[in-house]
Amino acid sequence: MRINKYLAECGVASRRACDKLIAEGHVKVNGKVAALGEDVRDGDDVTVDGNAVRRRLSHSYYLMNKPKGYVCTVKDDKDRKTVMQLLPAGAGRLFPVGRLDYDTEGMLLFTDDGDLAFRLTHPKNEIEKTYLVKIEGFITDAELNRLRTGIELDGKMTNKSRIRLISIDKRFTKLHVTIHEGRNRQVRRMFAAVGKHIVFLKRIKIGDMGLGSLERGAVRKLTPEEIFYLTNL
């Protein structure tokens, strides 16, 4: 088994995050610094920063309604609050599946299942995420068409997105935006590219699974039905 998959099954992090740990020399196999792509067998002594890791026979899955003002990292070098502080005591060694930026609210999954995290976040799987977006002022049909067909970010066009107008008043416009990429601050940057400022951003769905009545800042375990749904997307 490849070392990144093994670490993911141990609940260390997603495969991509494990690749970073390996590349930075944090991982050893039988006392030697591991290499990217290295194979691991049951019985090998695998450590991360000197701590032994073992494959897990079962996994944990949690859903959070992330409030703004928290970063989606285990630790923060700027001493900001992290989403890990909101997890219940005894939740175990979990990591967030993907990220929401500091000022974004909404649906955030946590697990120790690295394979599921990989499936939900890798661009090739095109898992849809839907956001509630509130912008200042109005938006024209031409601007909506640009957003739907693709916006150039960092020299590369975004994939097509689905956008639905929810409401318009004298000051603000609300929309639902569905994308299946995960570029850094993608939704905010897409709207900025057409001259629109987002004043509120909340992820409300992953696939067809939503937050339900979960209050801001609250966390709960996923139901068996939700776990089945996510693992079969």
- Tell me which residues are annotated as active site: 101
Q: How many helices (H) and strands (E) does the chain have?
A: 6, 15
Distance CA(233)–CA(7), nearest Å, equals 23
List C-alpha distances in Å: 41 to 6, 55, 196.
9, 11, 52
Query: In the beta sheet, which residues pair with residue 25?
Result: none
Q: Are 196 and 140 in contact (CB under 8 A)?
A: no
Q: List all residues 6 or more positions away from 106 whose beta carbon is below 8 Å from its beta carbon.
A: 65, 66, 100, 131, 132, 201, 202, 203, 204, 211
The Cα 15–Cα 9 span in angstroms is: 9
